[in-house]
Structure 1
């Protein structure tokens, strides 16, 4: 997939109202699909579709837990700290910052401050 199409699809995903509601809920704490359905007032299939969309761009990660009764279920959580969307030379750029790439963020900031 080319970068321009990928950026457009990420913007479309983030632009989806239901996806934003799911992201907002899981940014506070991990939640199951059932909890998301109730909190966001969305049907369970809608929640699963949005989670699938968000997972496609690595914006959501999941973890399998075991309930007291032995049943397994997944909880979903945000997989990024922040997103910056910029317009440079008539071209959109999307940068997704993740906790694990803080050294990369510092390097990028340093490079931005010290152009050669």
Structure 2
């Protein structure tokens, strides 16, 4: 499930597959490092380098994080046509609630607009 960044909103889920993926990702040190590094949009290669992990590991962890409300996918446009997927942390705060109806995760978006941040990236122009 690839998601585009949400606009400063709140997402809540009680879907078991999403909950399982979210808990698995949060329990994984590499996933937490990727979330930390993904404050600005980055490709998987950039995330692997920033986190000092193997590229194959980074691809697996990004795939796992993409199944959660914590990371969103965008596109880095290249004037030469070599567009690349890029990822950005899509959570500023998360809360786990356990109640009579079960378990849910509520994720609040970042204060800054991740799409606007993408246009502030070097080499990216809206022209």
TM category (shorter chain) comes to: 0.5 to 0.7
Kindly indicate whether structure 1 or structure 2 has the higher relative contact order, using CA contacts under 8 Å at least 6 residues apart: 2
Deviations 1:10-51 (A, max 9, x none): 21221111000001111x211111111110001111111111
Deviations 1:57-112 (A, max 9, x none): 232111112334431111100122211134557x754222236xxxxxxxxxxxxx
2:26 aligned residue: 14
Aligned CA RMSD, in angstroms, stands at: 2.6
Correspondence 1:14-53 to 2 at 5 A? 14-26=26-38, 28-53=39-64
Unaligned runs of 5+ in 1: 100-116
SS, match of residue 53 in structure 2: coil
Higher helix share: 1
User: Which TM-score applies when normalising by structure 2?
Assistant: 0.62
Unaligned runs of 5+ in 2: 1-13, 111-127
Query: In terms of Rg, which structure is larger?
Result: 1
Correspondence 1:27-106 to 2 at 5 A? 28-86=39-97, 93-98=104-109
Paired residues in the alignment total 97
Q: Hey, what's the Cα distance between the residues in 1 that align with 2:30 and 2:103? A: 23
User: Which TM-score applies when normalising by structure 1?
Assistant: 0.67
Pick closer, same or farther for the CA change 1:73–1:6 going to 2, 3 Å. Answer: closer
